[in-house]
């Protein structure tokens, strides 16, 4: 009886301790960004890996999501005789919600897991210890460029997602279903506000990028140094980051509508 | 070295494209204006603006010439609408502003009727003639209760 309660207590304490570790880890990354040298080349390489190489995936997903939104929302809206509001519905749902969230989830799977595996493999083969031996801080040399790159590319990828999604729904709505192109664009431009919609979208994707950068690098940095540990850390990055992103999305949406 | 240069080029293109699309979303779709309009700013006061909202269109003969920038109440508790019109638009002082609806249940917009005077409206002035929104509820109500069309207020 008490054994079960004791295990629950131990698990809770371990969880709280890890949250504390992650926050300290985040603080170390933050301090590393202000310390010279800037590790500019590593940052560029990480932007290439996480951003440029994810762009094709993001573009293909966005077009497909746009097609689906066009068909589904038209179906719903036309029941109320409001098929002409397709632009408004597509624009608002993509900009406020689907763009940032789906982009973050896709980047988590595509780039976040890769970064965890890479750092985990470095730790397993003691490359991080090797860096410390040479008096190079691995946080500054390895972690910081990758974490900042994830936070940097997220809003850019999200903007690509949103615009291509709107374009995909335009193709369905205007070219296939025969809606008026003018009312699609006008509905979109009249309904979307900068502060409440576009800014919300940008802030969301930036927060998701920061979260993913922190979680992906932490999971790699703290992984158990063997092959099973790397695989567990990679899985755990995808699970933890996805849940954190969805939770943060809810909190940000709630805060924004106050 | 060649591959690094290629990679940098791709990163640069990617960043430019991302920033460009953020700019497009903010300025075109989101309607954020970086220039503080610089266009013609006019006021119009209405008894009833119906479903008019900020960013609604302002049209002359169906052509979009600006948008509603803000709506508030004036000292007499009438709705005072601030219109942000295109730069270079020349409106005579006896022009009129009316709130119309596109289609039966569509978006509401402000239709401007240019007047005939020589003198032109300048920024900060107010429309002398305005026509409020047609309130569909009132209209239906007046028919149902037999007050007759067009009667009442």
Domain ranges of chain B: 1-32, 40-144
Tokens of B112: 């401007």
Average pLDDT over every residue of B122-133 = 83
Residue A59 lies inside a defined structural domain of this protein: yes
Q: How far apart are the C-alpha atoms of A186 and B100, rounded to whole Å?
A: 16
Residue A187 lies inside a defined structural domain of this protein: yes
Residues of A in contact with B24 (CB under 8 A): 163
Look at A108-112, B34-38, B143-147 and tell me which has the smallest mean pLDDT: B34-38
Residues of A in contact with B17 (CB under 8 A): 156, 160
pTM, two decimal places: 0.78
Chain B: residue whose CA lies nearest to A50: B11
Asked if A48's CB is within 8 angstroms of B7's CB, the reply is yes
Chain A: residue whose CA lies nearest to B102: A183
Residue A46 pLDDT greater than 80, yes or no: yes
Instruction: Give the CA diameter of chain B.
Output: 86
pLDDT at B35: 55
Q: Considering its fold, how many domains does chain A have in total? A: 1
Average pLDDT over every residue of B112-138 = 82
Q: How far is CA A145 from the centre of its chain?
A: 16
Residue B151 pLDDT greater than 50, yes or no: no
Neighbours of B83 (CB within 10 A): 22
Look at A59-73, A220-234, B18-32, B139-153 and tell me which has the smallest mean pLDDT: B139-153
Chain A: residue whose CA lies nearest to B13: A52
Least Cα distance to A22 among A241, A226, A184, A192 occurs for: A241
Percent of chain A clearing pLDDT 70 (strictly above)? 100
Look at A108-122, B46-60, B133-147 and tell me which has the smallest mean pLDDT: B133-147
Strand partners of residue B100: B109
Residue A13 CB-density burial (10 A; 0-12 exposed, 13-18 middle, 19+ buried):
exposed
Least Cα distance to A194 among B35, B30, B56, B19 occurs for: B30
pLDDT tens readout for residues A167-215: 999 999 998 988 888 888 888 887 888 888 899 999 999 999 999 999 9
Strand partners of residue B1: none
Within A171-226, where are the H helices?
181-191, 199-221
Residue A12 lies inside a defined structural domain of this protein: no
> Chain A closest CA to B112's CA: distance in Å?
19
Chain A: residue whose CA lies nearest to B29: A189
Strands B96-101, B79-85: pairing kind: unpaired
Percent of chain B clearing pLDDT 70 (strictly above)? 87
pLDDT at B34: 59
pLDDT at B139: 79
Least Cα distance to A177 among A86, A44, A51 occurs for: A86
pLDDT at A130: 92
Look at A15-19, A40-44, B38-42 and tell me which has the smallest mean pLDDT: B38-42
Return the ∠ at Cα A60 (arms to A57 and A63), rounded to 5°. 145
> Chain B closest CA to A112's CA: distance in Å?
18
Is ipTM strictly over 0.90?
no
pLDDT at B61: 85
pLDDT at B104: 63
Asked if B21's CB is within 8 angstroms of A160's CB, the reply is yes
pLDDT at B91: 85
Asked if A156's CB is within 8 angstroms of B19's CB, the reply is yes
Q: What is the DSSP letter of A138?
A: H
Least Cα distance to A184 among A73, A49, A53, A54 occurs for: A73
Residue A93 lies inside a defined structural domain of this protein: yes
Average pLDDT over every residue of B113-128 = 84
Residue A2 pLDDT greater than 70, yes or no: yes
Assign 3-state DSSP to chain A and report helix, strand, coil percentages, each to 5: 90, 0, 10
> Chain A closest CA to B116's CA: distance in Å?
31
Domain that holds residue A199: 44-256
Residue A22 lies inside a defined structural domain of this protein: no
Element (H, E) at B12: helix B2-24
pLDDT tens readout for residues A111-125: 999 999 999 999 999
Any chain B CB within 8 A of the CB of A95?
Answer: yes
Q: What confidence category does residue A156 fall into, taking pLDDT thresholds of 50, 70 and 90?
A: very high
Residues of B in contact with A202 (CB under 8 A): 22
Look at A56-65, A117-126, B67-76 and tell me which has the smallest mean pLDDT: B67-76
Residue A15 lies inside a defined structural domain of this protein: no
Average pLDDT over every residue of B28-45 = 74
pLDDT at B152: 45
Any chain B CB within 8 A of the CB of A80?
Answer: no
> Chain A closest CA to B64's CA: distance in Å?
11
Residue A192 lies inside a defined structural domain of this protein: yes
Residue B136 pLDDT greater than 80, yes or no: no
**Which residue in the set A155, A163, A190 is minimally distant from B24, CB to CB?**
A163
Residues of B in contact with A163 (CB under 8 A): 21, 24-25
Q: How far apart are the C-alpha atoms of A59 and B19, rounded to whole Å?
A: 16
Q: How far apart are the C-alpha atoms of A75 and A58, rounded to whole Å?
A: 25
Q: What does the mean pLDDT of chain A come to? A: 91
Residue A163 pLDDT greater than 60, yes or no: yes
């Amino acid at each position: 009886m008490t054994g079960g309660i004791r295990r629950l207590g131990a698990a809770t304490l371990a969880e709280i301790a890890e949250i504390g570790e992650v926050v300290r880890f985040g603080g170390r990354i933050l301090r590393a960004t202000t310390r010279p040298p800037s590790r500019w080349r590593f940052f560029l390489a990480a932007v290439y890996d996480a951003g440029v190489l994810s762009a094709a995936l993001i573009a293909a997903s966005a077009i497909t999501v746009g097609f689906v939104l066009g068909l589904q929302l038209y179906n719903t809206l036309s029941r109320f005789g409001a098929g002409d509001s397709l632009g408004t519905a597509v624009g608002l749902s993509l900009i406020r919600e689907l763009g940032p969230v789906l982009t973050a989830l896709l980047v988590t799977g595509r780039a976040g897991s890769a970064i965890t595996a890479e750092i985990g493999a470095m730790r397993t083969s003691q490359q991080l210890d090797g860096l410390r031996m040479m008096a190079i801080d691995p946080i500054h040399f390895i972690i910081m460029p990758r974490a900042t790159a994830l936070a940097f590319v997220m809003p850019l990828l999200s903007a690509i997602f949103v615009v291509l999604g709107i374009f995909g729904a335009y193709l369905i709505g205007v070219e296939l279903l025969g809606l008026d192109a003018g009312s699609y664009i006008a509905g979109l431009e009249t309904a979307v506000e900068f502060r409440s919609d576009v800014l919300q979208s940008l802030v969301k994707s930036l927060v998701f990028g920061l979260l993913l950068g922190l979680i992906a690098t932490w999971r790699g940095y703290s992984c158990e140094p063997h092959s099973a540990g790397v695989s567990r850390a990679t899985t755990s990055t995808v699970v933890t980051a996805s849940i954190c992103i969805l939770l943060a999305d809810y909190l940000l949406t709630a805060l924004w509508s106050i | 070295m060649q591959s690094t240069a290629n990679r940098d080029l791709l990163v640069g293109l990617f960043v430019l494209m991302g920033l460009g699309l953020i700019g497009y979303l903010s300025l075109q779709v989101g309607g954020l204006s970086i220039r503080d309009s610089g266009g013609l700013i006019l006021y119009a006061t209405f008894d009833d603006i119906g479903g008019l909202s900020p960013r609604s269109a302002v049209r002359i003969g169906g052509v979009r010439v600006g948008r509603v920038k803000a709506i508030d109440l004036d000292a007499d508790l009438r709705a005072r609408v601030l219109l942000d019109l295109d730069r270079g638009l020349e409106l005579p002082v006896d022009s009129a502003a009316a709130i119309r609806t596109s289609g039966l249940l569509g978006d509401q917009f402000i239709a401007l009727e240019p007047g005939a005077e020589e003198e032109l409206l300048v920024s900060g002035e107010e429309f002398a003639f305005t026509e409020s929104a047609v309130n569909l509820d009132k209209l239906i109500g007046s028919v149902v209760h037999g007050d007759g069309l067009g009667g009442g207020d």
